[in-house]
Amino acid sequence: MEELLSPKQVARAMGVSESSLKRWCDRGLIPTIRTAGGHRKLPVAAVLSFLRQNCKQLVRPEVLGLPPVCGTGEITFERASDAILAALRVGDADAARRTIFDLYLAGNSAVKLCDNVLANVFHQIGSGWQCGELQVYQERRACEIVLRLLHELNLALPATPPNAPLAIGGTLAGDCYQIPTAMVELVLREQGWQAQSFGSNLPLATWQAALLEQRPQLMWLSVSYIADVELFVEQFQQLAELAQQHKIPLIIGGRELPTEIRKRLTFTAYYDNFTQMLNFTSTLLHR
Ligand code: B12
């Protein structure tokens, strides 16, 4: 996606006249910036926000670097999940992208896309793999496609305010799951955090260094795989103690945190989906 667009490009994409578009810009409905030469430019994320807030559809989304819209924006989460699953099964990245951006442009939040669509798709991929219907390569390819999509959604979000509080997170050593932590980054960014996922499989020592050097206002850990429970609890607790000493709230989630394990851990909050997590993090954000 090109980051800055000319009024002409945006007008073509929306199917309106350039003068209408400029009027909207003059009224401040779409924030613009001026180049050194005095030309008006529109950030893609600002254009997408305007479209989503005003329920306007794109006539030629490809002009903005988006996939051609496949439906009317009235697609349900269930149908979208089926469409994405079918696309991922055969490695059709464009079809998966079309469905996700259809939903996004229809005004659905990134958190809804993660909790209600993509997580569901991956649960089905997991079951498909378990019963031998899907090959490992299909699962891995699906992960690659969705990681790229999450990155694109990140680029489509409005810019984070410069004074936004910092949130960092990822997974501990041995846990190679990339998607849940990439989703936490996306949904916290959408909420207004300056969120940075450090990815998966990071050793304890580097998390400790990150806490001390970055001094975030929030830390998250996503836990999808634990090889050795005793080692995990020991390492987790060391990190949790450090977070507590520096008054950094630690939020956890992920499929591998049943109550028996959680009872042995010290943390600020646990949630089993991102929507609930955001209810809590919004209170931290507005403190
Ligand atoms: C992709 C995948 C992998 C990939 C991941 C690759 C990558 N690049 O990320 C890799 C290759 C690592 C993998 C490996 C294995 N996997 Co796997 N994997 C999956 C799969 C299909 C999707 C995982 C995923 O990303 N889901 C999407 C996320 C978003 O969903 P979620 O985890 O449920 O997250 C939700 C909540 O938990 C919560 N949440 C998550 N994180 C956080 C964080 C915070 C802060 C909060 C608040 C909330 C929160 O909110 C999310 C959204 O609602 C799952 C199926 C499934 N059910 O998820 C199997 C699955 C987890 N894997 C499974 C297995 C068996 C394995 C292996 C053991 C296979 C093997 N024999 O080698 C290995 C484990 C080895 C290891 N060291 O990790 C099983 C686990 C079975 C069990 N123990 O219960 C599953 C369930 C598949 C199945 N149905 O059998 N896997």
Q: What is the DSSP string of 27-87?
A: TTSS--EE-TTS-EEEEHHHHHHHHHHTTPPPS-GGGGTPPPP-S-S---HHHHHHHHHHH
E-assigned strands of 112-245?
166-170, 194-197, 218-222
Look at residue 238 in the predicted model and tell me its pLDDT: 98
180 Cβ closer than 6 Å to some ligand 1 atom? yes
> Which residue matches tokens 């790229």?
148
Instruction: Tell the residue nearest (CA) to atom 86 of ligand 1.
Output: 126
- Of the candidates 149, 55, 145, 31, the one whose C-alpha atom is nearest the C-alpha of residue 92 is 145
| pLDDT tens digits for range 124-167 | 999 999 999 999 999 999 999 999 999 999 999 988 888 999 99
DSSP-assigned beta bridge partners for residue 168: 196, 219
Give residue 185's identity as a one-letter amino acid code. E
Task: State in Å: Cα 140 to ligand 1 middle.
Answer: 12
pLDDT-derived band at 267 (thresholds 50, 70, 90) equals very high
Which residue from 145, 225, 257 has its CB within 8 A of the most atoms of ligand 1, so it is best to mutate? 225
CA gap 201, 220 in Å, rounded: 14
Mean pLDDT score, 90-104: 94
> Which residue matches tokens 């030309």?
39
Higher pLDDT, 172 or 19: 172
DSSP-assigned beta bridge partners for residue 167: 195, 218
CA gap 261, 67 in Å, rounded: 43
**pTM exceeds 0.75:** yes
120 Cβ closer than 6 Å to some ligand 1 atom? no
pLDDT-derived band at 73 (thresholds 50, 70, 90) equals low
